[in-house]
Amino acid sequence: MATKKSTTKFWRQGEPFVWGTALALTLVLCMTLLLFYVVLANGITVFWPKNVTLATLNNGGYALGEVVKDEENPGTGKKRFQFKIGNRDLYGLDFKWIDAEEITNFSTPPDIYVLERQENGNFYGSLKELKTPGLVLPVEKNESLQAALDSIEPQRLEVEKIDRQIAALNDKVEQNNNKLLKLRYKKEEHTAAAVALHEKVSTIKAEFEQLVVVLGSKQAIVAANEAVFVDANGQEKTIRLADIVRFYQPNSMSWVQKWSYYGKRLKELLFAEPRESNTEGGLFPAIFGTIMLIFMMSILSFPLGVLAGIYLREYAREGYLVKMVRIAVNNLAGIPSIVYGIFGLGFFVYGIGSQIDLLFFPEKLPTPTFGTGGILWASMTLGLLTVPVVIVATEEALGAIPPGIREGSQALAATKFQTLTRILLPMASPGILTGFILAMARAAGEVAPLMITGVVKLAPALPLDGSFPYLHLDRKFMHLGFHIYDIGFQSPNVEAAKPMVYVTTLLLILIVLIMTSTAIYLRNRMRERFSVADL
């Protein structure tokens, strides 16, 4: 009897339900944490200089590289190691599986060099000699490589400077050519203005030729400096010093040196351009593109969504039409993003973009200016995708304001508009911002619609730079989300790109996290200010 009573009580109080709710939340939490853990654990260790292991093989050979993974060979059931052996130019592959039974000995020789190169990935080996005509260097080997690199640094910087000058000249030629195109289009190619432009272009070209000659000679000087390295099996490889991005000797590095190396790599990641089809180097253009895209999307979708939400809640007369609109808006939020992408391509790029080209850039046709994907169209597409979220949030935030507040304001002789701007909008702002945060988070994670409206694997220039008119809305851009897809699944060397995939993912998550937490902080401050919880 007693047990029956207690079981009914158990069911009546809904104990299983409470457990169910807790379980559901735990599950969600675990999944999120797992995802974040995987990304964090893999992403954060990428730049840490790992020891380089020299494995002595029982066939008399050697293998040198970082041990990436050990596992049981699914074929034989025996243990095997995955080595990152680098030296792609020598072996063709950077990674190699070696069975444990083939290895007789592991060691970590202190004088092993790891070179990060402009091309062909890492090199693992030891230094044999330096061929540095014209450089006076200290005798000791290790220092001498650093010294050699240091002493060609000024020339290298000069080469870069000339490169930039050439790029600037190219820019000028491009601009003048555009002007010429315009004149030709207007059939004014024989006027004085056109002749002057032609002259200008030819002087620039002369300057250009000169610079190219200077560049060639400087490059030759830099390129003459080489170092000879040997791999684990004694194979020699001559590497030009100019091709070495940096080198390190992980087996003899102290903690401080390792941390400073880590810092350098982090700096490179955040501020440098990518190298080697995006699998090495920095992510700056992609970070810049992502943030700029989100900003532009916000500028476009936020006012539109808020205004539409205000109309729907405050001015539209309740009825079937408004109900239909509301349903339509809610459904818009559920349309697959690729559909938005296709719409963006069809309507913005091919529709509006090509009209803009016809009107403003007819001289460049058939080369499109706005009639092809670009950051403007991509942000408009994303804006369209996020606008329903903002509308719904605005409507709900306005609807949640107690009616007494509106009446109070209007009873004090305020018009509807004054009530809206002075009371309702400030009060609704936390809710509107919440919607905005959701919209931003969604936009930051979208890749599919961008792929057809302007994202590229490698953009030659940023959409915002120092050359007139500074903001280039027609330019294509890079994006972290697309970057992940590109290097993770489109790269010819997937294994080598893997660390970068984790790093990029981590970075994207961090950017979204920073942007949304800033917005959440702002919202909470507003909430404190405009709360009417005690009414």
Partner 1 sequence: MSHSATAIMSIEKPQVEVEHLNLFYGNSQALTDMSFGIPASQVTALIGPSGCGKSTFLRCINRMNDLVEGLRIEGLISIDGENINDPSLDVIELRRKVGMVFQKWNPFPKSIYENVIYGLRIAGIKDRNVLDQAVEQSLKRAALWDEVKDRLQQSAMGLSGGQMQRLCIARAVAVNPEIILMDEPCSALDPRSTSRIEELIRELRGEYTIIIVTHNMQQAARISDYTAYMYLGELIEYGPTQKLFTVPERKETEDYITGRFG
**Which residues of this chain interact with partner 1, rule CB under 8 A?**
317-318, 402, 404-415, 418, 422-423, 426-427, 529-535
Range 94-101, long-range pairs (CB < 8 A, 24+ positions) = 94/121, 94/122, 94/493, 94/495, 94/496, 95/68, 95/495, 95/496, 96/63, 96/65, 97/73, 98/55, 98/57, 98/63, 99/73, 100/70, 101/58
3-state secondary structure of 64: strand
Contact (CB, 8 A) for 459 and 285: yes
Distance of CA 452 to the CA centre of its chain: 17
Calpha distance 95→99 (Å, rounded): 13
Give the dihedral sign, CA 182/186/192/193.
Answer: negative
Alpha-carbon separation of residue 53 from 84, 124, 231, 236, 247 (angstroms): 10, 10, 13, 19, 17
CB closer to partner 1, 78 vs 529: 529
Task: Give the residue carrying structure tokens 């000069």.
Answer: 158
Type of residue at 428: A
Shortest distance in whole angstroms from residue 500 CB to partner 1? 49
The angle that helices 284-310 and 255-271 make with each other, rounded to 10 degrees, is 50
Q: Nearest CA to 421 among 529, 316, 307, 524? A: 307
- Residue 162 token pair: 């000339």
DSSP one-letter string for 127-162: EEEEE-TT----SSHHHHHHHHHHHHHHHHHHHHHH
Residue closer to partner 1 by CB (options 387, 428) is 428
DSSP β-bridge partners for residue 72? 79
Please report which helix (H) or strand (E) contains residue 167, including its range: helix 141-185
H or E element: which one contains 100?
none
Q: What does the alpha-carbon distance between residue 166 and residue 172 come to, in Å, rounded to a whole number?
A: 10
First and final CA of the chain: distance in angstroms? 50
Give the list of residues 6+ apart from residue 61 with CB closer than 8 angstroms, or none.
232, 233
φ and ψ at residue 476, rounded to 5 degrees: -80, 165
Query: Angle formed by the axes of helices 494-530 and 425-445, to 10°?
Result: 180
Residue with tokens 């030659």: 460
Amino acid of residue 127: L
Q: How many CA within 13 A on the CB side of residue 65?
A: 24
> Residue 80 phi/psi, 5° resolution?
-145, 160
